[in-house]
């Protein structure tokens, strides 16, 4: 995935923001997945491209990419996420929402980017059998701070080796 992200960044250096007009809707969405699996500095660069394009024309870009990218960056910087897009599993296999800045406003913020209201995780590509999912809307008590070990696991591939 890292190799694809590097190739994607090289293309974006040539063409600019990953707009739907330049890439098509499917590819514009795929770029967002690569962005989430990039190094932190690359994520920040891509978030700037997305946010700048969104400010110019919200419908020209896959705007649903902005909240998870912003949240992932904020968590890596040990800040609270804004949109509630990141959940984790603790050592006992229990799902928890990584804390949100303002839980009471999270759904208003999510709506700006056409995201559904915050709900408990219901679909994942891996882990669903080992870590059963829950149903219903998320509640403030679903939040839990990451432990040091959970943070280390969350950020394991986000920083370049020195």
| pLDDT value of position 162 | 65
Distance of alpha carbon 154 from alpha carbon 148, whole angstroms: 10
| pLDDT value of position 105 | 97
Distance of alpha carbon 83 from alpha carbon 129, whole angstroms: 26
pLDDT tens-place values along the chain, 162 residues long: 667 777 888 888 898 889 999 999 999 998 888 888 888 988 998 999 999 999 999 999 999 999 999 999 999 999 999 999 999 988 888 889 999 999 999 999 999 999 999 987 765 554 555 555 667 889 999 999 999 999 999 998 888 776
Distance of alpha carbon 54 from alpha carbon 110, whole angstroms: 14
Coil, strand or helix: which one is 37? Answer: coil
Give whole-number Cα distances, 72 to 67, 76, 112, in Å: 8, 6, 18
């Amino acid at each position: 995935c890292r190799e694809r992200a590097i190739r994607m960044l090289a293309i974006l250096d040539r063409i600019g923001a990953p707009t739907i007009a330049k890439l098509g809707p499917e590819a514009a969405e795929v770029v967002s997945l690569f962005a989430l699996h990039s190094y932190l500095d690359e994520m920040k660069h891509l978030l700037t491209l997305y946010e700048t394009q969104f400010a110019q024309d919200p419908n020209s870009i896959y705007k649903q990419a902005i909240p998870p990218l912003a949240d992932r960056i904020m968590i890596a910087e040990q800040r609270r996420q804004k949109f509630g897009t990141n959940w984790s599993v603790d050592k006992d296999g229990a799902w928890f929402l990584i804390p949100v800045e303002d839980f009471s406003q999270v759904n208003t913020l999510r709506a700006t980017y056409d995201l559904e209201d915050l709900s408990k995780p219901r679909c994942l590509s891996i882990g669903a059998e080992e870590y059963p999912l829950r149903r219903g809307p998320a509640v403030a008590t679903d939040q839990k701070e990451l432990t040091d070990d959970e943070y280390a696991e969350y950020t394991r591939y986000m920083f370049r080796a020195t």
